[in-house]
Structure 1
Amino acid sequence: MVAVNKTLDRKTQSVNQPEARKTLHFQVIEKTFKNNTDSDYTEKIRDLGNEFDYASNRDYYWGYPELSLLYGTPLYDAASETQRLALNHLYWVGNYNHTAVSEATTSIYNMVTNGVFRAVGGYETLCRELDFETEQESYHIRTFQKIGFKTKMAIVGKTILGNSEYGKSDKEDVSGWLKLLIPQPVRDYFISSKGSSPFSIQRDKVLSAIAKTMLRDKKQYYSGYLRDIEERGESIPAPADGLGGRIAPRYWLRFFTIHWGMSPFMACQYYSLRYTANAILKNQEYPYVRYFRELEQKGEHIPTPTAVSYYHLLDEAFHTTISQTLARDTYKDFPKPTAYEKFISGLIIYKMQCSLLSGLSGVLPGRCVYDDQMLMIFYYKLLTSPVFAMEKREALDWLEKCVCQEHEGYHVGLKYHQSLLELMRRLFGRLDYQWSINRNMSIMAAGGSIEKALPKNTEAFKRFSQSILAQDS
């Protein structure tokens, strides 16, 4: 039954800070590590992924109908039962494709911060838990990818959900009349078609120097993981996709990563950001758990993806506990944050609110940002796929009805928004070092408005529609 390496010997750990073992949060970490390594949820997830067959699951809803793409829109109301099943399945696939990308990012930052805690000493159990979590994530990711690929190929015949909706790029672009005004040598300095431009390389060096200078009294804690990367001449890691890639441009993420990998306080602060990913996942995943339990109680067939969601939430509950404990309590083991550390931690969460939690979608339940053109590209592809087989004009007309008119889908999205807001305030309201706007999740709260979402989403649709129609001219 053993798929995850459970040879992490809890009996031989050494603790350099005896007083730490007396604290409640240290005991929580110990208990969480024991329970996590004793559970077999990861193995169940692995086996379910290996055994998944779409044909055996295609005739069942994998979650409540509201957990479907386009739910509550005029198009959903007009869709056939076969199309509604496909939308329900594709919602699961899209959600867990995004989760897989985010968990890959989590694995990187587990290693970054782990290096800091090892350098501090006395947190061996925590380090082992983070190592174990990283190994678990690899099994989660593979299962999500297997189910997602088989499902997409069966429904649309091509992987239209393959690209993360949150993808970002570092490439700068200069177009139109600016090309005539800016000399070629200047453009070559700022833009490169062969990788990083001289400007971006210099920018990263400057930001790195600022971070290391401001944290110079913490240099003894610099993560061995980051040190090894730099010694190999490689760039500091920064995600391009998933939740991490949505927060800020990659050069900002590299800047933040140095802080998370150098200061014990900032390493703990990172877990308030990881808690955001945990909360978003819980907010979207817990309804699958309720659905699983209802089917189980009725003795009805439980689709494989529904079971994966159920066991994944049980696995992730351990990870969420660690995120909360580090972000809320463990940081108090270390010297109080400096004014600079408070500023950076505030800036990170402020950017997170603006990029991840500042709006409301009309077509994707549970998405707490406005509908952008990248999301509309995905839906346009879906409407012109074999699921709906629409022509260009028809697809745009239906998309306009779904995005630009108030409908039930907006109200379902608002319900998920309010649920997530409560989860976020539960943690951030207790972080006394955070800015008031972050403790109250003020930007997120302001974004939970259908009245604000409709004009913003309508404007995004107009730009998208014009770009599609311009292809005919």
Structure 2
Amino acid sequence: MDINYRRNTDSDYTEKMDQLSKNFDYSSNSDYYWGEPELSILYGSPLYEAASPSQKKALNHLFWALDYYLIAATETNTILFNEVTANAFFPFDDYEVICHTLDVETNQERYHVRAFNNIGNKTEIALLGETVFHCPRSTKPQEMDKTLSPFKGMGGRTSSPLGMHVYTISISNSPFLASQYYTARGIGNLHLKNREYTFSQFYKKLEKKRDFIPAPTAVSRYHLLDESFHTATSQLMSHEIYKDFPKPNIWEKYLANQAVYRLQIDVFNGLSTTVPGTCASNFMPMVYKLLQTPLFGMSNQEALLMMEKCFCQENEGLHVTAKYYQRLLSDIRKFLEGLDYLSPVNREMRLMASSGSVEKAVANNIREFKQFSRSVKR
């Protein structure tokens, strides 16, 4: 932990991200892809296949914006839980470095959130004239329907307000639960890395060719490097630190298992058509609005017809998402090895494994689209 702490404090990735965000100008980055084409809104769908080259780049840029809005929401959760879990270790002199580590990471997360939202907002305004995919932080949880739940962050999606309150109090008073929060955080780290590694490889490819590197691509690269320290923290906390304390009681085991179980139920529960490579929502109301912006200029009816084509049949984008989903499942299973307090359904991520087929995604999309189209036609 000491080595990880020193390396993190000696790095300057956060500062580089902050500078890129402050200097970001969409027009200077608009002519370039920010990541591989497969990481584009509705990639592989009939809309994408019919799009012009400039529209395809726009969908690539909007993917970055939406993906990092969602990452920002989860990192906002992380800010809270870093502080809460630090309280559980603060009374122990031997764990002072943990508290310092979490303080540093919390400060870095604040810069990350600000950078992601700033670049995303500027991108949407430039492309659409408004923010279609950004859910303001002022939006109250009770105002978020199912389509907006990802904007609560991974932590906010997995619990009711009462459940979150109970969990927060419990982990602040139990070193075991505090350390095992980092099992859930580690899963979140892997979820992020699953896509961000692709952005990072894209960055390295451009760098090797000495091509122009768009600012958002560089932000993705530096964020992956920054988060590598956070991932190391999650690994150490979840797999090593808890061994220093008494074995968990029944209640502690239950809560630790519930955290992983709820992630499977509420987050890792299927494939997104709108945001390939993720387990996010399809954001159908936002897609409906996107199709009616000047970028595509569709009427209400045209937008619905296009959405039906995109969501209600198999397409290449779903196979891309399935590829990322299976890779993530494999990574999570490796990460959870050796955590004997987890039940088999959680340690093996059985619910996640059962939810990752293209066929199930299409069936879920059809149900969701029918419900959405009825709500629009009322």
Q: What is the TM-score of this pair, normalised by structure 2?
A: 0.95
Identity %: 47
Aligned partners of 1:240 and 1:250 also within 8 Å: no
1:102, CA displacement in angstroms? 1.3
Aligned to 1:420: 328
1:172, CA displacement in angstroms? 12
Distance 1:168 1:429 in 2: 37
Q: Note closer, same or farther for the CA distance 1:248–1:401 as it changes in structure 2 (3 Å cut).
A: same
Render the CA deviation track for 1:306-357: whole Å, top value 9, x for unaligned: 0010011000000000011111111111000012211111122111110000
Alignment-mate amino acid for residue 109 of structure 1: F
Match of 1:243 among 141, 145, 154: 154
Aligned to 1:57: 29
Alignment-mate amino acid for residue 44 of structure 2: G
Give the paired residue count.
373
- Which structure 2 residues correspond to residues 304-343 of structure 1 after superposition, within 5 A? 304-343=215-254
Aligned to 1:109: 81
1:154 is the counterpart of 2:65: no
Aligned to 1:253: 164
Match of 1:262 among 173, 196, 214: 173
Aligned to 1:23: none
Q: Note closer, same or farther for the CA distance 1:114–1:67 as it changes in structure 2 (3 Å cut).
A: same
Render the CA deviation track for 1:229-274: whole Å, top value 9, x for unaligned: xxxxxxxxxx971111111222211111111111000000101111
- Which structure 2 residues correspond to residues 32-431 of structure 1 after superposition, within 5 A? 32-163=4-135, 169-170=141-142, 241-368=152-279, 371=282, 375-431=283-339
Q: Note closer, same or farther for the CA distance 1:362–1:148 as it changes in structure 2 (3 Å cut).
A: closer
**Greater mean alpha carbon deviation, residues 243-252 or residues 39-48:** 243-252
Higher relative contact order (CA 8 A, sep 6+): 2
Distance 1:40 1:271 in 2: 24
Aligned partners of 1:168 and 1:246 also within 8 Å: no
Large movers: runs of 4+ above 3 Å:
167-173
Q: Note closer, same or farther for the CA distance 1:168–1:331 as it changes in structure 2 (3 Å cut).
A: farther
| Rg larger in structure | 1
Tell me the SS of whatever aligns to 2:41: coil
Q: Note closer, same or farther for the CA distance 1:164–1:455 as it changes in structure 2 (3 Å cut).
A: farther
Tell me the SS of whatever aligns to 2:354: helix
Structure 1 unmatched runs, 5+: 1-28, 174-238
Distance 1:299 1:259 in 2: 51
Alignment-mate amino acid for residue 88 of structure 1: N
Tell me the SS of whatever aligns to 2:170: helix
Aligned partners of 2:69 and 2:116 also within 8 Å: yes
Tell me the SS of whatever aligns to 1:325: helix
1:121, CA displacement in angstroms? 2.9
Q: Note closer, same or farther for the CA distance 1:286–1:171 as it changes in structure 2 (3 Å cut).
A: closer
Aligned partners of 1:380 and 1:399 also within 8 Å: yes
1:98, CA displacement in angstroms? 1.2
Alignment-mate amino acid for residue 329 of structure 1: E
1:120, CA displacement in angstroms? 2.9
Render the CA deviation track for 1:25-77: whole Å, top value 9, x for unaligned: xxxx0110010001111111111111111110000000000010000101100
Alignment-mate amino acid for residue 90 of structure 1: L
Alignment-mate amino acid for residue 296 of structure 1: E
Render the CA deviation track for 1:366-391: whole Å, top value 9, x for unaligned: 222564xxx11111111111111111
Aligned partners of 1:169 and 1:240 also within 8 Å: no
Distance 2:306 2:58 in 1: 17
Aligned to 1:463: 371
Distance 1:394 1:247 in 2: 35
Aligned partners of 1:276 and 1:424 also within 8 Å: yes
Distance 1:466 1:154 in 2: 32
Aligned partners of 2:207 and 2:213 also within 8 Å: yes
Aligned partners of 2:70 and 2:151 also within 8 Å: no
Alignment-mate amino acid for residue 98 of structure 1: L
Distance 1:170 1:101 in 2: 16
Aligned partners of 1:93 and 1:151 also within 8 Å: yes
Distance 1:240 1:288 in 2: 22
Alignment-mate amino acid for residue 419 of structure 1: R
Q: What CA RMSD, in Å, does the superposition of the two structures yield over aligned residues?
A: 1.8
Aligned partners of 2:158 and 2:266 also within 8 Å: yes
Q: Note closer, same or farther for the CA distance 1:37–1:330 as it changes in structure 2 (3 Å cut).
A: same
Aligned partners of 1:42 and 1:139 also within 8 Å: yes
Aligned partners of 1:168 and 1:240 also within 8 Å: no
1:169, CA displacement in angstroms? 3.2
1:435, CA displacement in angstroms? 1.0
Aligned partners of 1:168 and 1:241 also within 8 Å: no
